[in-house]
Structure 1
């Protein structure tokens, strides 16, 4: 990065949102958007080709998922700082993506000035981690620290998703039970398969049950 210019890449599958962010950042003479991507593989290719100082990355995009994109960008372009910009105020997602190497996790409800400050901060100070999430999510992040070793390779939310999957719940039913979107359920399942080296729902359930990570039997009703 030069002292006078921060090069930024945008990765979001909503064209109108990307255009809005581009116009927003263009009002700052110290920032320049050098490319856009609409899915995970294109985001990685853009980062490798352009080597931006900062990559603004959405969570829900077509492709392998945000975690895989972050890992690949950090491996291929370690100088590129990744700012997650999303609507998902979810402690499990925050923890996972920060652990993968994201430098910031910001909700799309932030103001323009807050976004500019975040971009400048991560670009100028390597190792800085910025959060713009609800107090509820922050408290859940604190609570997860003591429980993390007990959950093995899966996060608490992934364990919930896999338990319901083992109880023959559909993605729609899991989304309804956990108050999340079906796209988020699919993303959690993709991450679960990767972590367990599983090729299907049945394979993931079998491996998690054998490792005693989940109990597939429904809990008996309370009296």
Structure 2
């Protein structure tokens, strides 16, 4: 079979299929053309390998993100479960406290007291926060900040204690307005419990929000 010669000008062609066909049929190819063909095949192989690596890395990243999302969802579920459990324990403690208070009054007055507790208007958490900030002459942003000087700790404690006393909100809800968790609110409520007990006797059941704030301000700054 006569060898098929390839002109050297075919080095610059882009139709490599014709070059392969000539090689398959025993045609002679200049070394420059053969080297160009090999370089092209190596470039194609490198490109395919790079695409495969990118696909593998993308799949690994997607798997990592899915795993992270599952961990965050599980954590959020656990936290919500903790808050629910804490709220349930709070409600049980409130029921026990009401039962103890009910033992100290006559049975015929029990329904009257319960009706007053339900019908008594209760302030909103943001209203309490605004009134406390005005009474202590500080900004709300400073009140809910992370600053721990006494100029901000005492009004913050007053907010927690008054909100716990005058509203039906749970500690997680009260603390969330200040960007804290329920353990912080519980600590402040316990620290101010003796003051709240005295003011409950002094002010009575009909005292409004301003009277509570003025009284607790005197107690904490007297």
TM-score range, shorter chain: under 0.3
TM-score (norm 1): 0.23
Tell me which protein shows more strand as a share of its residues: 1
Higher helix content, 1 or 2: 2
